[in-house]
Copies of this chain bind each other. A is one copy, B any other.
Amino acid sequence: MEAISSALSALSIQTEKVVKHAAANSPESWRSAVSEVASSLGLASQNYTKTVVFKPKTAKSATPTPVVLIAKDDSEYNTGAVAKHIGQKEMRLAAPEVLKEFLNATKDDVSALSITKDNAASLIAVLDASLATSTDHFAVHAASSEQTLFMTGAEIAKYLQSTGVKLEVVDFAKLKAEAATPVAKASAPPSSSASAPASTQGPTANKAKAAEAAKIPDAEQIGITVRKAGDFPEWYTQVLRKGDMLDYYDVSGCYILKPWSYFVWQSIQNFFDAEIKKIGVENCYFPMFVSADVLEREKDHIEGFAPEVAWVTKAGSSDLERPVAIRPTSETVMYPYYAKWIQSHRDLPLKLNQWNSVVRWEFKHPQPFLRTREFLWQEGHTAHISLEEADKEVMHILDLYRQVYEKLLAVPVVPGVKSEKEKFAGGYYTTTVEGFVPTTGRGIQGGTSHCLGQNFSKMFDITVEDPKAPEELRGKPEGKLHVWQNSWGLSTRTIGVMVMVHGDDNGLVMPPRVAQVQVVIIPCGIGVKTSAQEKEAIMDACDRTAKELQAAGIRAKADLRDNYSPGFKFNDWELRGVPVRLEIGPKDLEKKSVVAVRRDNKAKTSLSAEGLSSSIATLLDQIHDDMFAKADAEYRSRRKVCEQWDDFTRILNDKCHVVIPWCEVEACEDEIKKRSARQAVAGEAEDERAPSMGAKSLCIPFDQAQFGDITGKKCPQCAKDAKRWTMFGRSY
């Protein structure tokens, strides 16, 4: 390690960031060990390298020159293509002895840093171009399976050059794509049981085994390599990156929203913005910065946010006299101005909304869309003369949120009210639309519409002369009325929920109404025997069809790339979840028809070219309805009524939500959480993919009737009289 340190510092590569952790004996255990330590240090921990050593075929008399291949841990390569590219033959994985002899390393600690000035002459290093040029930080073994340091890809390249090793920078993705022949479809085998078998093996071995089981046999490496039901976190990451929704970013907890996902957000904006304008909401923009004074005005409210507030303390090289915070939400930012702007009951209602980003510098493990340090949302803040008027708006907005999920994203949600414990800090009551991720059985809060009551208006002194006050109270404090306020927000979390609910082992499945491309048109049946004229006719037909659909308002695209096979294109667009694929070949031209393949259920039909835009429009609506119906049926079947405590944790462990006749006592809620957590821990099969967390109340659904008459029912946990049916579950 000392030798490495000095070598690195000679290259001005910082090495402070060496972390020590539990010994790793597999890529998975390494990731898990590092991420535990790294997140507590606030380090980016998503990026790992892998180092694989090969021994190429060599004449028997000659000493072999091992090839050390270094790449991002999720890079895929075609060994044959790499060997060919660097002029080597039949590269085979090197035996442990070779690692020891040439690199003084084992498979668990080998890394770019195993190559030194001393051994460089007897090795060839192959570095993936996408790593070599990356400015992201990557975890690298630091000469031991218990130590890791973080270097950018460019620093790794610099280090390797400094050793004098023969270094080949190779674009793995490109080599691989060039090597790809028309791609055979990965047939998804029935998903394995999600709960790992009880076993006497240690958790690491268990995890490695589960990871192995999660792999999709024969899956083309360009596609998703793990099953959704097998390794959900890994599946989610792959589906987002390979489906082109986002890219990782070199500031931890922040992600790049690529056009494919931003389009979804803009679709939501278009719908919601038009709807709120109908009820008189106006858009505005408040600054992202908040002074400490203002931020900290409402103590209860800010308490929850304070540990996550990001502070700007410097501008250029000067320290600011008074640091400013970046808004984590805007209640305290906006309400001092509401106090100023609202001078009379005639200024009411005041209904403002903004489309902005907020920052919550969380230290928990970030998750794209679900938990990110900066996220996009809208926040509405309104003030009303009466509770009645405020109530009405709360419900109207909540219904718009329901529509965003159900009508745009085809994701079912349960609208309801939060328990006292779960409501917005400082508010009066909170309504919510609750979603469900079937794979994990966890609930997810989809969007919340809060009635703040008069709490903030009292704090910020937002008052008007009560127009109903008797004459003698006019102008006196008793004649004042504190306004009734609401706030409501919906964020890019919507996109994460949509992906988790609909995606499958082949990638994204986009709901048609928010898909940037709804229909992709692919020329087929062009072979070596096809005449130039015939080929042109097919290409033209694809292009024409795209234009015809576009003219009818359908987002269609013809994929006329001629360096890829139809099979490659099928996979590519499946990965990105395009709802409908149209295939046009010589026979389709003859028959004046096209073949349509649905992404959601793979169903294939032949459609007449005549009136195609109208049949496609119908098909897209049908796909939306079917996707919603499927997800809705799933969610319904996973909401189980439970009236006996003995059933509670079992239902939970079956990855279901539990609906109980509940007493609505806060202490009982705490008890439910504790007891459901405890019993789960006692079980055998828990690992981080089926968390042992206790259940909390998700919401008290507005539709109580579906669960039957509650009269006379007792709370299963405490046996007190039940008030309302309440949905409990594990959640994100």
Please state if B283 and A259 are interface contacts (CB–CB under 8 Å). Answer: yes
Complex CA gap A173/B361 in Å reads 41
A732 smallest CB distance to B (angstroms): 21
Query: Can you list, as one digit per residue, whether each of A131-150 has a CB less than 8 Å from chain B (1) or not (0)?
Result: 00111000000000000000
Most buried by B among A130, A266, A316, A320: A316
Please state if A285 and B461 are interface contacts (CB–CB under 8 Å). Answer: no
Query: Can you list, as one digit per residue, whether each of A226-257 has a CB less than 8 Å from chain B (1) or not (0)?
Result: 00000000000000000000010111001111
With A133-B461, A251-B289: A317-B307 Cβ-Cβ less than 8 Å: yes
* CB interface residues, A 276-316, toward B, < 8 Å: 282-291, 293-294, 297, 306-316
A244 smallest CB distance to B (angstroms): 9
From B174, B262, B294, A250 is in contact (CB under 8 Å) with B294
From B174, B262, B311, B321, A284 is in contact (CB under 8 Å) with B262
CB neighbours of A265 from chain B (8 A): 285
Q: Does A406 contact B (CB under 8 A)?
A: no
Complex: chain B residue closest to A258, CB-CB: B284
Q: Does A96 contact B (CB under 8 A)?
A: no
* CB interface residues, A 135-168, toward B, < 8 Å: 135, 152
Please state if A134 and B340 are interface contacts (CB–CB under 8 Å). Answer: yes
Q: Does A324 contact B (CB under 8 A)?
A: yes
Q: Does A339 contact B (CB under 8 A)?
A: yes
Query: Can you list, as one digit per residue, whether each of A24-62 has a CB less than 8 Å from chain B (1) or not (0)?
Result: 000000000000000001110000000000000000000
Complex CA gap A361/B41 in Å reads 29
Please state if A306 and B316 are interface contacts (CB–CB under 8 Å). Answer: yes
Copies in the complex: 2
Please state if A336 and B135 are interface contacts (CB–CB under 8 Å). Answer: yes
Please state if B313 and A308 are interface contacts (CB–CB under 8 Å). Answer: no
A296 smallest CB distance to B (angstroms): 11
Interface size class of A (residues with CB under 8 A): 35 or more
Please state if A311 and B315 are interface contacts (CB–CB under 8 Å). Answer: yes
A237 smallest CB distance to B (angstroms): 17
Please state if B376 and A43 are interface contacts (CB–CB under 8 Å). Answer: no
CB neighbours of A310 from chain B (8 A): 312, 314-315
Please state if A374 and B282 are interface contacts (CB–CB under 8 Å). Answer: no
CB neighbours of A344 from chain B (8 A): 174
CB neighbours of A255 from chain B (8 A): 287
From B135, B285, B363, A293 is in contact (CB under 8 Å) with B135
With A285-B262, A320-B42, A344-B174: A314-B313 Cβ-Cβ less than 8 Å: yes
Complex CA gap A262/B308 in Å reads 29
Complex: chain B residue closest to A171, CB-CB: B343
Q: Does A357 contact B (CB under 8 A)?
A: yes
A467 smallest CB distance to B (angstroms): 11
Query: Can you list, as one digit per residue, whether each of A343-376 has a CB less than 8 Å from chain B (1) or not (0)?
Result: 1101000001000110101010000000001101
Q: Does A561 contact B (CB under 8 A)?
A: yes
From B256, B316, B320, A287 is in contact (CB under 8 Å) with B256
Q: Does A533 contact B (CB under 8 A)?
A: no
Most buried by B among A152, A286, A297, A374: A286
CB neighbours of A314 from chain B (8 A): 310-311, 313, 323
A–B Cβ pairs within 8 angstroms, 29 of them: A42-B321, A43-B321, A133-B339, A133-B461, A135-B294, A171-B343, A173-B343, A247-B337, A247-B341, A249-B286, A249-B287, A250-B291, A251-B290, A254-B287, A254-B289, A257-B285, A257-B286, A259-B282, A259-B284, A263-B283, A265-B285, A266-B283, A287-B374, A310-B315, A311-B313, A311-B314, A313-B313, A316-B361, A346-B563
Per CB-CB distance, the 5 closest pairs between chain A and chain B, nearest first, are A259-B282, A315-B361, A254-B287, A307-B316, A311-B314
Given contacts A250-B294, A285-B376, 15 further A-B pairs with CB under 8 A are A42-B320, A173-B343, A174-B344, A249-B286, A250-B291, A257-B285, A307-B315, A307-B316, A309-B315, A310-B312, A310-B315, A311-B312, A311-B314, A313-B313, A316-B361
